[in-house]
Structure 1
Amino acid sequence: MSSRANNRREGAVQSTTSFSDRYKSWLQHHRLSAADSLSRVIDNPLSSLMTWLVVGIALALPVGLSVALDNAREVSSRLDSTARLSLFMADKTTAGDAAAYADALAERDDIADVVFLSRDDALTEFSQLSGFSDVLDSLDDNPLPHVILVEPASTDADDIAVLQAQVQADAQVAQAVLDMAWLQRLNRLMELSRRLVQALGALLLLGVVLILGNTIRLAIENRRDEIVITKLIGASNGFVRRPFLYTGLWFGVGGGVIAALLVAIALWFVDGPVQALASSYGSDFQLGGLGLMNSLNLVFFGGLLGLAGAWLAVSRHLGDIEPR
């Protein structure tokens, strides 16, 4: 009798699973979940395409506007960015007095360069640039004043404003105009546009996360019975969660690909008119696009948004599905 008990006692063996086996099982389930979720997405091409288009358009709008602003910034950077004051002398000021005043300005420490342009030189230059030489030659008198071009030594806006006020107060100067005021306004407008694009992008990205979260919620509801059975046989929440996370990943990656394609198509569509406009101004400007790396980053970012939306939906709804 004791020998039988000993035999039964010796037959009881505790089973243990090594870390290597657990890792292989975990990795294998990731592969199966990724493949199965991708298969489910492809098996519903119409609904998946609609989701990809919605996500792609939401991503393409801020990205496309950002690319447009980058091109506009590239154009503005090619313009002369040196702040310069144009001093239009009073009509009674002679060429000698204007030249002497220009020499006096050149001695100031807050002025880097001074160029004197007499009214005759100004008329010749204007005639060449405007193309109205025949009309200007028919005039009895030269309507243009003497001009002094002043380049401030400082690039600070307050220092330039002080210098402008000082020369404007001189009786010989009819008007002191800051040539770069329009470019400064343009830069401020572009910065405002950049902020607006960022705000719009943040709202659209939030919308992408909510759209994908709602899509994953519907997928969870459609597979409720499968989830209950899986939990009945002992599956953990992580095990059940994994396929839905991959579903969100595929939706996000597909939306990123659609967004990159939409931006590329939009740039191709406007490239011809932009090149024609640049050529008419004698510029070799080339319209810049996303490029390969930025396109891949957009696809990667779309995948992250898909994971975020799926995680949000799974965290809220998966815990409510429990076996009874």
Structure 2
Amino acid sequence: MRAKASGAAQRREGASTSRARFLDRYRSWRDHHSLSAADSLRRVLDNLGSSLLTWLVIGIAMALPTALSVALDNAREVSGSWDSPAQISLFLLKSTGAEAAQALQAELQERGDVAEAVLVDKVAALEEFAELSGFTDVVASLDENPLPHLLLVSPATGVEPSVLQAELLALQPVEQAVVDMAWVQRLNNLMDLSRRLVLGLAGVLVLGVVLILGNTIRLAIENRRDEIIIVKLVGGSNAFVRRPFLYTGLWYGVGGGFIAALLVLAALFFLEQPVSNLASLYQSNFQLSGIGLIGSLQLVLLGGALGLIGAWLAVSRHLGAIEPR
């Protein structure tokens, strides 16, 4: 019985010792993280001039693709109302009179698949052309009006323009039905191409940010070579030595992301009023949309992630070459 009790006591004591050792290791790991983060931040702020230059380079590299992406989003928002719904132009026979054109307009207005039908009278169209082109004398010398009556038909929501076009072409006295969406398709293709170019540029600049941070961390490693050798001599592991440099890369990345967010917000603030003035000339209430608080935080987090990646690559490459002799 005494042997069993002694064995149980030893197991309890061993479990307690194991837990105590785990807690000690955890506290040591946590304290070293805190000290490394604080010491790395202090070192970055002590060299404020060079740190500002690094932050500016990173911020500009991150702000450029972000600003282009915001510009594309605003352009897509502006063009969103241009391609929906499509408009069908119905050119009537030249012999069609005004009463017949108005009757066809009324008939189209009653259709469920037509949202709106606007009649452009050929007399008014010719007068507008003469006024805008400046060829008033030439137009006045014409024996007859060469323009037909025109109906601008907007399909109802959910109606396929090509299907409605085929139905309207069969009506009398319609001579031609045109759905001119080629310019919208060209615009959309241009927007997609621009988006891909921005993504490509962002990839190149992100790689540049990682290389800049990697080079900065490499210089920091070289400046602290003697310190690293001493730490390794007393038994410090690579993870122990690596930790301060990872935090250094994190602070550089976070600062660069913060600068990038400030640059984008400043550019939007600078352009907001001119864009509003231009939109008002076209009777539009369009306002520039920015990255907002969430987008700014994402930039800061992205900068921090890039800083960690660049620091990790630099430390992994150069730390192994520093060994005590």
**TM-score (normalised: structure 2):** 0.80
Matched, 1:72 2:72: no
Aligned residues: 305
2:121 pairs with 115, 119, 122, which one? 119
Which stretch shifts more, 163-172 or 139-148? 163-172
User: 1:90 & 1:48 partners in 2: Cα distance?
Assistant: 74
- Name the amino acid aligned to 2:36: S
Q: CA deviation at 1:98?
A: 5.0
User: 1:155 & 1:176 partners in 2: Cα distance?
Assistant: 19
Counterpart residue number, 1:20 = 23
Q: CA deviation at 1:191?
A: 1.8
Deviations 1:114-159 (A, max 9, x none): 73625258549x85x9996x998x9756554211334457969xx7
Matched, 1:29 2:32: yes
Unaligned runs of 5+ in 2: 1-13
User: 1:211 & 1:130 partners in 2: Cα distance?
Assistant: 62
Say which SS state the counterpart of residue 18 (structure 1) adopts.
Answer: helix
User: 2:220 & 2:254 partners in 1: Cα distance?
Assistant: 18
Q: CA deviation at 1:232?
A: 0.4
Counterpart residue number, 2:313 = 312
Counterpart residue number, 1:273 = 274
Q: CA deviation at 1:318?
A: 0.8
Q: CA deviation at 1:25?
A: 1.1
Say which SS state the counterpart of residue 91 (structure 2) adopts.
Answer: strand
Deviations 1:239-260 (A, max 9, x none): 0000000000000001001101
User: 1:64 & 1:291 partners in 2: Cα distance?
Assistant: 13
User: 1:310 & 1:255 partners in 2: Cα distance?
Assistant: 14
Deviations 1:181-231 (A, max 9, x none): 323322222122111111111111111111111111111111111111100
1:52 pairs with 45, 51, 55, which one? 55
| Cα separation, partners in 2 of 1:115 and 1:284, compared to 1, 3 Å | closer
User: 1:100 & 1:280 partners in 2: Cα distance?
Assistant: 36
Q: CA deviation at 1:86?
A: 0.4
Q: CA deviation at 1:168?
A: 7.0
**TM-score (normalised: structure 1):** 0.80
Unaligned runs of 5+ in 1: 1-13
Q: CA deviation at 1:89?
A: 2.4
Q: CA deviation at 1:94?
A: 3.6
What root-mean-square deviation, in Å, do the aligned CA atoms of Structure 1 and Structure 2 show? 3.6
Say which SS state the counterpart of residue 23 (structure 2) adopts.
Answer: helix
Pairwise mapping of residues 222-241 of structure 1 onto structure 2 (< 5 A)?
A: 222-241=223-242
CA contact (8 A) 2:229 2:322 kept: yes
Counterpart residue number, 1:261 = 262
User: 1:165 & 1:303 partners in 2: Cα distance?
Assistant: 57
User: 2:187 & 2:219 partners in 1: Cα distance?
Assistant: 47
Pairwise mapping of residues 188-207 of structure 1 onto structure 2 (< 5 A)?
A: 188-207=189-208
Counterpart residue number, 1:6 = none
Counterpart residue number, 2:184 = 183
| Cα separation, partners in 2 of 1:130 and 1:213, compared to 1, 3 Å | farther
User: 1:167 & 1:317 partners in 2: Cα distance?
Assistant: 74
% same residue = 61
Matched, 1:146 2:121: no
User: 1:272 & 1:45 partners in 2: Cα distance?
Assistant: 35
Deviations 1:275-309 (A, max 9, x none): 11011111111111111121111111100110010
Matched, 1:43 2:46: yes
